[in-house]
């Protein structure tokens, strides 16, 4: 099971999940504030549902301030510490201790600009038990947010604009094209498609027009809704965006129209986990 720390700000149950505000005093292990590990489902995230995500919001008020938290974790070798705090960038320290106060890991927060301030760090939890998190920042004061549990997820979108048209004729009722998105650097490697819409530039028209899409490696096509040409794709199907995709155009063209062409513009919406770089 993967676990992660994720930093946010809020006061109650927000879009980021259930938020636990820091309560002073929490300046020692004996005063450590109890928190829950987080395990949000990406299938819910794409619908704005962050059930299962538990977030701590705190503040370093002076250079000697120590904020302590306590959480029950399961043994695993892929715990993630994910931090959001621009105010404490390159200053905040997160020390992880076991219940016997043995130091497990020391992490200095560095904000990754291309991940909108989110930074993930891999930790190893040697055995199931209670663990302590000490947050300090001797060089700078400011606010922070974090959670511990499954990885945090973000959503994004990408539109592919084909260069060449797909053309139907009275005798050609179906045409396919392949588009390679595997090298698009702006797409996260782990991006999973959950929605697709197909528009584009049309010339002439066809009746009974259908637009479908699939991964090149898949057998079955995903058909979009007629006239609107969009489709929801279950996150659990794990369609990785950085792949070769196939597009299929179907329809009937009258002999008087002679041809119908569509130069596709395909918009993908995706969800992806924040992982260590």
Q: How buried is residue 248: exposed, middle or buried, by Cβ count under 10 Å (0-12/13-18/19+)?
A: middle
CATH of 3-151, one of 2.60.40.290, 1.10.240.10, 3.40.50.720, 2.60.120.380: 2.60.120.380
Percent residues over pLDDT 70 in the chain: 92
- As given in the structure block, the two tokens for residue 8 are 């946010």
Mean pLDDT, residues 127-146: 95
Q: By C-alpha distance, which of 211, 190, 194 is closest to 263?
A: 211
Percent residues over pLDDT 90 in the chain: 76
Mean pLDDT, residues 14-21: 74
Q: What is the pLDDT of residue 4?
A: 47
CB atoms within 10 A of CB 160: 18
- Check for a shared fold between 3-151 and 155-273: yes
Q: State the residue for tokens 């947050």.
A: 135
Q: What is the pLDDT of residue 16?
A: 63
Q: What is the pLDDT of residue 122?
A: 87
Within 8 A by CB and 6+ apart from 196, the residues are 213, 222, 224, 230, 231, 233, 266, 267, 268, 269
Q: What is the pLDDT of residue 38?
A: 86
| Dist. CA 101–CA 22, nearest whole Å | 21
Q: Please say if the pLDDT value at position 148 is more than 90.
A: no
Instruction: Please tell me which residue, 135 or 81, carries the higher pLDDT value.
Output: 135
Beta pairing, strands 54-60 & 17-21: parallel
- What ranges do the domains of the chain cover? 3-151, 155-273
Q: What is the pLDDT of residue 79?
A: 84
| Dist. CA 119–CA 114, nearest whole Å | 10
Please write the tens of the pLDDT for every residue from 45-92: 999 999 988 888 999 999 999 999 999 999 998 888 888 898 999 899
Provide the whole-model pTM. 0.88
Question: ∠ CA 114-86-66 to the nearest 5 degrees?
Answer: 135
Per CATH, the homologous superfamily of domain 155-273 is Galactose-binding domain-like (2.60.120.260)
**Residue 135: helix, strand or coil by DSSP?**
strand
Q: By C-alpha distance, which of 77, 6, 68, 59 is closest to 37?
A: 6
Please write the tens of the pLDDT for every residue from 176-200: 999 999 999 999 999 999 999 999 9
Q: What is the pLDDT of residue 62?
A: 95
| Dist. CA 217–CA 196, nearest whole Å | 18
Q: What is the pLDDT of residue 2?
A: 41
Q: By C-alpha distance, which of 260, 96, 233, 91 is closest to 172?
A: 260
Mean pLDDT, residues 213-225: 98
Q: What is the pLDDT of residue 117?
A: 64
Q: What is the pLDDT of residue 35?
A: 94
What is the average pLDDT score of the chain? 91
Q: What is the pLDDT of residue 113?
A: 61
Q: Which helix (H) or strand (E) holds 76?
A: strand 76-84
Q: Which of 81-95, 107-121, 214-228 has the lowest mean pLDDT?
A: 107-121
């Amino acid at each position: 099971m993967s676990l992660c720390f994720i930093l946010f700000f809020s006061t109650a149950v927000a879009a980021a999940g259930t938020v636990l505000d820091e309560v002073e005093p929490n300046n020692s292990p004996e005063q450590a504030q109890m928190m829950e590990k987080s395990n949000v489902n990406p299938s819910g995230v794409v619908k704005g549902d962050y059930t299962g995500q538990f977030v701590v919001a705190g503040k370093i008020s002076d250079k000697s301030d120590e904020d302590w938290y306590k959480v029950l974790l399961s043994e695993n070798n892929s715990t993630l510490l994910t931090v959001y705090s621009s105010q404490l960038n390159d200053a905040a320290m997160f020390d992880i201790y076991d219940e016997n106060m043995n130091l497990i890991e020391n992490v200095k927060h560095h904000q990754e600009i291309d991940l909108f301030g989110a930074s993930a760090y891999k930790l190893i939890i040697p055995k199931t038990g209670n663990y302590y998190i000490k947050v300090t920042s001797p060089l700078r004061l400011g606010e922070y947010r974090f959670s511990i549990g499954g990885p945090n997820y973000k959503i994004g979108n990408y539109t592919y604009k084909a260069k060449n048209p797909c053309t139907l004729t009275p005798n050609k009722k179906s045409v396919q094209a392949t588009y390679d998105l595997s090298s698009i650097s702006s797409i996260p490697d782990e991006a999973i498609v959950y929605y697709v819409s197909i528009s584009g530039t049309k010339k002439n028209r066809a009746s009974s027009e259908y637009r479908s899409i699939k991964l090149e490696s898949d057998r079955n096509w995903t058909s979009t809704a007629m006239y609107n040409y969009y489709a929801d794709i279950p996150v659990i199907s794990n369609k990785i965006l950085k792949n070769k995709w196939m597009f299929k155009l179907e329809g009937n063209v009258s002999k008087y129209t002679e041809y119908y062409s569509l130069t596709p513009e395909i918009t993908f919406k995706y969800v992806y986990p924040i992982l260590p770089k």
